[in-house]
Each structure stands twice: as structure tokens, then as C-alpha cells.
Amino acid sequence: MLNFSYCNPTRIIFGQGQIAQLRQQVPQAATVLMLYGGGSIKQNGVYDQVKAALEGNRVLEFGGIEPNPSYETLMGAVALARAEGVDYLLAVGGGSVIDGSKFVAAAVPFVGEPWDILAKRAPIESALPLGCVLTLPATGSESNNGAVITRKATQDKLSFLNDKVQPLFAILDPQVTLSLPPKQVSNGVVDAFVHVVEQYLTYPVNAPVQDRFAEGLLLTLIEEGPKALAEPENIEVRGNIMWAANLALNGLIGCGVPQDWATHMLGHELTVLYGIDHARSLALVLPAMLTLRKQGKRDKLLQYAQRVWGLDPADGDIAIETAIAKTKAFFQQMQVPVTLSDYQLGCEAVDAVCAQLEKHRMTKLGEKRDVTLEMSRQVLQMSL
Ligand code: NZQ
Ligand code: ZN
């Protein structure tokens, strides 16, 4: 396995009724800015639980953070936090609210234009402390150091990674996910699945611990995902998905192994251009990405075929193709479309995504940096 340094300092507080733990986690003297999305937390009781737990604090609010959070919206929160002397952020929502809050945490004390944090990877000297209440298991953002922010005006969806914005704690109460629309349940399962694949389906480096963990997460998502759709009231299933999605991108399974992320880079461009939900963009790209690169990923694809889908690796190419077909069928079982034409997109979308990739210098992607623009074009054409 490769060298690595690993520390995940986010405290995970898991279980029903655990939002009340905010009282112990947030310092009494803090002036808190509570950030949230379009209002789902006001319908499902999460907002009231948070307010009750923070009774002793001065709490300000910033709602309206949209899916694929925008710089334009978030700068409103930055202005509010600066004007009111906020010294603690609490993100209450899914990946978008948490990512947006990470940007706000870094932007408030930032001297200069905060967009440079994304566009120029400007160094971050300090950030406000951040805690979160997760309402949508999917991204793993609640206990990692990454965030993806969109600048609508220029159609840029860019990411940054910084330990200073890693949440101090994350409350994972599966009860709060019962109000998710089925589409978001599906999105969460597919996003987490692809996170594992991006870190697992590369090339072998003799890292059996990471491989077995990754396979365990994939199998859990394959088993529990359809159950969450079939039994929408089953809170145990929701809890298992919440924990799996967290572990899929909390850094653990990515330690000491090569990582791909090409599917995510193409997906981000599809989202910024066409508004396709993040997870859905990945389901469009991944099967073709694996098919086109099956030589470079051969050993791990055979392992995936055998251990995740129960296929015989002696069947070689047939096992690989069947495993990819089963992956696609799993996405479809989760009611997630797998072709661009499902979104009425054709060749013009292929050109547009490639232009964006070029603009963002995404022309050497993947674990071997061998995914050229031409290959990305082929992947998109195969996804039509
Ligand atoms: O805004 P509200 O009203 O809260 O509604 C949201 C939103 O419309 C709704 N929702 C969330 N929890 C709910 C709920 N509705 C009912 N009940 C609940 N309990 O779900 C909708 C989607 O929410 P969003 O936060 O956008 O979804 P997700 O968690 O999938 O986050 C997607 C964002 O995360 C980024 C994506 O690019 C995208 O911008 N990612 C972040 C990563 C990271 N930081 O590590 C990695 C990922 O690969 C990803 O790129
Ligand atoms: Zn993702």
C-alpha cells in the first residue's frame, strides 16, 4: 500500500434523538449562525429540535442555500456573519448546506476575494468552527475536509480541500431522513456507491484492508438501498445507509490507495450545465467510464466482479462486462437514469461538457492521469 497520513477529527454522534446533543457540542458563549437549505427542516421538525437545543445561545439564521450551493448565495451568509460577529457555524442539511457552510467558514475571515479559495486554491489562514446536523446521507461532507461550490455567473463548479473546514462534529439521526423524497434517498445511495468505486476500482497496491472495507460498503449499499425504497418507514435501513455513506467518504477507505475521481469531474460539468442532480450525473458517466478503461482497471474489475457480484473471474472480459452491466442495473433499480437521452441530451451536450472540462483543465484525469479530453468525449458518447 502507499504511504499515508490519516486523522479524522470529526466526532460522529449517531442515533435517534441525538440532535439534543448540540447543547453539549456548541459552546454556550458562541454566537451561532445556523445555515440551512430550502426549508425541508421546517417541515420535518429538525429546525425546532435545533432551536430547542441551542436555547442558551445567540442564534442567527441563514436559509435558502440551494442544491449545488452557489457562491452568489453564500456571500450573503458571509456578509451576515461578518456584520453580526458570528463565531460558530452550524450547518443543518445535506451535502449542499454543509459544503456551503465550509465555504462560509473559510470566507468570513478571508482577506481578499473568497472565490480565490476555489479558483486559485488560495491558502486559508483560518476558518470559523463548524458543526453539522446531517439530513441527507450521501456526500460524506459531514466528516471530510472537502466542499464543492458553484459560481452561477461563470458556470464554474469547483472544489477545495482544507483541514480547517473539517466539521468538529456531525449529528447523524436516521429519523430525520424519513422525510426525504424517494429521489433523494436514491441519489444518496448512488453517490455513496460511486464514492467507494472511485477509491476502490483503480489498480491493486496490496491494500487488502481498504479493499475489504470498500467491498463491505458496496455490498451494504446494494442490499440496503433497494430496501430503503421498498420500506420507506424502516429506520434501521436508513441508519445503515447513513453510516455507509459516511464511511464511503470520510477518508478511511482512501488511505494508501490510488484514487480515480474522473467520473466526478465529468459529473460536475453535467450538473453545472444542465442542473442534473449530483448523484444522477455520476450514474450517467460511471458505466461508460469503467467500460472504456477496463484494460487499465482490469485486475480490480475482476476482483469487483467476483467479490461484489459473485461472478467467476476466470470468465475474464465477460465477468467484467457483466459486473458493469450489474452496476448499471443497480442504478436503475434505484430509479436513477443511466443515459444522457433520459435527460433529452444529445451530441451537443458532449461538446459542451468537453469545452467545460478543457476550460477547467480537466484533461488528465483518473488514477494514472491518463484520461484525456478525447477519452472523456468517448465516455460521454457511450453514455448517450
Ligand atoms: O434544501 P432543502 O429544503 O433542505 O431540501 C433538500 C434539497 O432540495 C432536500 N433534503 C435534504 N434533507 C432532507 C431533504 N428533504 C426532505 N427531508 C430531508 N431530511 O434534498 C435536496 C438535495 O439536497 P443536497 O444537499 O443538495 O443533496 P446532497 O447531500 O446530495 O448534496 C449534493 C452536493 O454535495 C456535493 C455535490 O457536488 C452537490 O453540490 N458533493 C460534496 C462532496 C463533499 N463535500 O465531499 C462530495 C460529493 O461527491 C459531492 O460532489
Ligand atoms: Zn459524489
Q: Each residue of 83-115: pLDDT tens digit?
A: 999 999 999 999 999 999 999 999 999 999 999
The Cα–Cα gap between 49 and 75 comes to 27
What integer pLDDT is reported at residue 362 of this predicted model? 98
Ligand located closest to 190 CA: 2
Residues lining ion ligand 2 (Cβ < 5 A) are 191
Q: Cβ(239) to ligand 1 under 6 A?
A: no
Task: Please state the length of the chain.
Answer: 384
CA of 170 to the centre of ligand 1 (A): 15
Q: Cβ(180) to ligand 1 under 6 A?
A: yes
CA of 10 to the centre of ligand 1 (A): 19
Please report the atom of ligand 1 found closest to the CA of residue 97.
Answer: 25
CA of 227 to the centre of ligand 1 (A): 21
| Structural domains of the chain in order of their starting residue, each with its CATH number | 11-176 (3.40.50.1970), 182-382 (1.20.1090.10)
Ligand located closest to 188 CA: 1
Instruction: Write out residues in the chain with pLDDT < 50, as ranges.
Output: none
Contact criterion met (CB below 8 Å) for 381 and 349: no
**344 Cβ partners below 8 Å, 6+ apart?**
none
Count of Cβ atoms closer than 10 Å to residue 328 Cβ = 19
What integer pLDDT is reported at residue 336 of this predicted model? 98
CA of 138 to the centre of ligand 1 (A): 7
CA of 47 to the centre of ligand 2 (A): 26
CA of 270 to the centre of ligand 2 (A): 13
Set of cell numbers at residue 335? 430509479
Tell me the pTM. 0.98
Q: Cβ(254) to ligand 1 under 6 A?
A: no
Ligand located closest to 103 CA: 1
Q: Give the residue carrying C-alpha cell 463565531.
A: 87
The three-class DSSP label of residue 47 is helix
Ligand located closest to 148 CA: 1
CA of 187 to the centre of ligand 2 (A): 9
CA of 372 to the centre of ligand 2 (A): 21
CA of 154 to the centre of ligand 2 (A): 22
Q: Where are the alpha helices (DSSP H) in the chain?
A: 22-25, 40-43, 46-53, 71-84, 95-107, 116-119, 182-200, 208-230, 235-248, 262-274, 278-292, 298-307, 317-333, 347-359, 373-382
What integer pLDDT is reported at residue 272 of this predicted model? 98
Q: Each residue of 160-183: pLDDT tens digit?
A: 999 999 999 999 999 999 999 999
User: Which protein residue has the closest C-alpha to ligand 1 atom 36?
Assistant: 278
What integer pLDDT is reported at residue 104 of this predicted model? 99
Set of cell numbers at residue 104? 462560509
- Tell me the best of 50, 141, 247, 274 to mutate to test the pocket of ligand 1, counting ligand atoms within 8 Å of each CB and taking the most: 141
Please report the atom of ligand 1 found closest to the CA of residue 249.
Answer: 45
Distance of CA 240 to the CA centre of its chain: 17
Type and span of the H or E element at 246: helix 235-248
CA of 302 to the centre of ligand 2 (A): 24
Q: Cβ(141) to ligand 1 under 6 A?
A: yes
Q: Cβ(187) to ligand 1 under 6 A?
A: yes
What integer pLDDT is reported at residue 332 of this predicted model? 98
Q: Cβ(186) to ligand 1 under 6 A?
A: no
Count of Cβ atoms closer than 10 Å to residue 212 Cβ = 12
Q: Cβ(179) to ligand 1 under 6 A?
A: yes
What integer pLDDT is reported at residue 296 of this predicted model? 98
User: Pick from 194, 329, 211: which is nearest to 262 by CA?
Assistant: 194
Q: Look up residue 31 and give its DSSP letter.
A: E
User: Which protein residue has the closest C-alpha to ligand 1 atom 15?
Assistant: 180
Q: Cβ(99) to ligand 1 under 6 A?
A: yes
